[in-house]
Structure 1
Amino acid sequence: MTVPVQAPARDARTPIAGSVTRADALAQWCEVRYGLPRTAGEPGAGTGWVVTEAFMTDPDRFGAWRATLADWLRAQYGAAPDRTTGGYVMSWYLGAVGLLGGALFHQSRRVPSLRPSDVAIHVAEHDRPHVVGLAVLADGFACLPDDPDADHPAATVVADDHALAALLRARFAAHASRFVASFGPTVRFGRRQLWAAATDALDSAAWTAGLLAGDEAAGVADSALLLPAKQDPFTSGSTLRATDAGWTRRRESCCFHFALPAAEACATCPRVCRDEAAGPAA
């Protein structure tokens, strides 16, 4: 799926740009960048990237994404149930925005703007059409008092880790609310299913960042900061827990992979057993 990009070039010398560069090392499965590709010579420039506000104002873009996914699923499995394309896109989209915020929070103790107009995603145009790129488009960021750039005009200083986590939670919830309002009418999912997916995305975000950075326990601790208890509109607090096999979590939402021909339900699918757990989303 190709989506025209209409966004200005950004100054890579702003403080948040450095944070994004450090986060890129964490996202081994996904490019993370500040601003959009500026020249036609850059790989992917002008193709695949979309400012997420476009999804909010034109939900048909979700339909185009799902149609591309349906073609891939039919090639792989022989069928593409509507609930499966909806479940995949829901999980991919929310997981991407959550990881963007969670990685910067975990790595740099900074929270970028997550307004749909300030975030872009890059969807692969060949093979599996999942999210392969994330971009921060705004200069502003929130940080702690001891941040080296706390006096920068683009910085908003908050008191401590708990306040910064609460701000990230609120910013992600605001973005997810726009997603639910735009995407929700295009699928036969209830409101709880949509917010369960948002909960999974936020709970997995810092954990995934810590895991990729080689400090899983620190990522788990950050997840507890982000979701210390059930708070509306999220469907639960963090479900991460330690087991003999390592850290794991109970998923709140379903991707509907089981609806594909000859596919089995994931061992951790909440429709199978809500006491089982899931690893970070791929």
Structure 2
Amino acid sequence: MTVDRSLRDARHTRVDLDTLGGSIARVAGLQRRVELTTGLAGGGWQRCSDLLAQPRRLGEWRARLARWLRQEYGDADARTTASYVMSWYLRVPAHVGALLLHHERRVPSLRPEELAVRTAGRGRPEPDGIAVLGGSFYCLPFDPGATRPEATVVADERALAAVLRARFTAHAARFVRAYAPISPLGTRMLWAGATDALDACLWWAGLDGGDEGAGVADAALVLQSRFPPLTSASTLRMETGEDDRRVWARRRESCCFTYLLPGRTECDACPRRSPKP
């Protein structure tokens, strides 16, 4: 992943250290899933608000994926393309929110107008870039940027977790309203996908940053129980791996429908294989 030059420079500018841009600069290098930036340098970017205002763009994304799947597998079921795009989109706000909560104890707005996504230009058209365009954030009282005009201070970590859950859910609700009419997936499946995105991204923030247990703890903090319309509490739990080691795993709430592709079977975490206890 290449970190935008403006972010590298921000690390050396005192005034930027307390801003949301400074936070993005710090967390960008603590993950390798996407390019994380604060600007739209280069081409291929789409604001999330534009995708939701013009759902045909989400349909075009599915069409690109269908072409790639046919090249790779010879077929592309509509449920598979719909589920992949659902998961990819919802991970945009979830990934940003999880990273900043985990590493900075901050939560950005996550409004669709303040996020943009770029998809890979070749091959599998998954997101390879996320841009955070707004500057407002929520933080704890001892945060070094707590006195900045764009900061909203909350009482404690539980309150900050509730803010992340609420901000993500508000973004996901706009996605569900836009995507449900053009998707073969039901509303319940879309909210299951939103739950998976938030739970998984909190886990990955810790895993990628070198403290998986802390990521699991964040997932438990944010999703300590079911908060409708999200469909479950965190499903992370310890399992015994193939080498008899104890490892963290999670049961998916939504299905990716990969098993509908020729030669593929259900994933290990598929709700079809591991139903709710």
Query: TM-score, normalised to structure 1's length?
Result: 0.89
Distance in 2, matches of 1:242 and 1:273, equals: 14
Secondary structure, counterpart of 1:135 in structure 2:
strand
Q: Which residue of 1 aligns with 2:46?
A: 50
Which amino acid in 1 is paired with 2:189? Q
Distance in 2, matches of 1:109 and 1:83, equals: 36
**Aligned counterpart for 1:183 among listed residues 172, 175, 179:** 179
Which amino acid in 2 is paired with 1:21? A
1:103 matched to 2:99? The reply is: yes
Distance in 2, matches of 1:273 and 1:141, equals: 38
1:263 matched to 2:267? The reply is: no
1:15 matched to 2:16? The reply is: no
Which amino acid in 2 is paired with 1:97? P
Task: Judge conservation of contact 1:123–1:129 (CA < 8 Å) in 2.
Answer: yes
CA shift for structure 1 position 22: 1.7
CA shift for structure 1 position 227: 0.4
**Aligned counterpart for 1:34 among listed residues 34, 38, 43:** 38
CA shift for structure 1 position 222: 0.5
Query: TM-score, normalised to structure 2's length?
Result: 0.90
Q: Which residue of 2 aligns with 1:25?
A: 29
Taking only the aligned residue pairs, the percentage that are identical comes to 51
Q: Which residue of 2 aligns with 1:221?
A: 217
CA shift for structure 1 position 275: 5.5
Distance in 1, matches of 2:125 and 2:195, equals: 23
Counterpart mapping for 1:197-276 below 5 A: 197-244=193-240, 245-274=246-275
Task: Judge conservation of contact 2:251–2:274 (CA < 8 Å) in 1.
Answer: no
CA shift for structure 1 position 263: 1.3
Q: Which residue of 2 aligns with 1:171?
A: 167
**Aligned counterpart for 1:157 among listed residues 136, 153, 160:** 153
Distance in 2, matches of 1:247 and 1:26, equals: 20
Question: Residues 205-240 of structure 1: CA distance to partner in whole angstroms, max 9, x if unpaired?
Answer: 221000001100001110111101011111001111
What RMSD over aligned residues (CA atoms) do the two structures have, in Å?
Answer: 1.7
Counterpart mapping for 1:76-155 below 5 A: 76-155=72-151
> How many residues in Structure 1 have an aligned counterpart in Structure 2?
260
Task: Judge conservation of contact 2:114–2:134 (CA < 8 Å) in 1.
Answer: yes
Secondary structure, counterpart of 2:143 in structure 1:
coil
Task: Judge conservation of contact 2:55–2:182 (CA < 8 Å) in 1.
Answer: yes
Distance in 2, matches of 1:71 and 1:126, equals: 11
Secondary structure, counterpart of 2:29 in structure 1:
helix
Task: Judge conservation of contact 1:251–1:274 (CA < 8 Å) in 2.
Answer: no
CA shift for structure 1 position 136: 0.6
Distance in 2, matches of 1:130 and 1:160, equals: 35
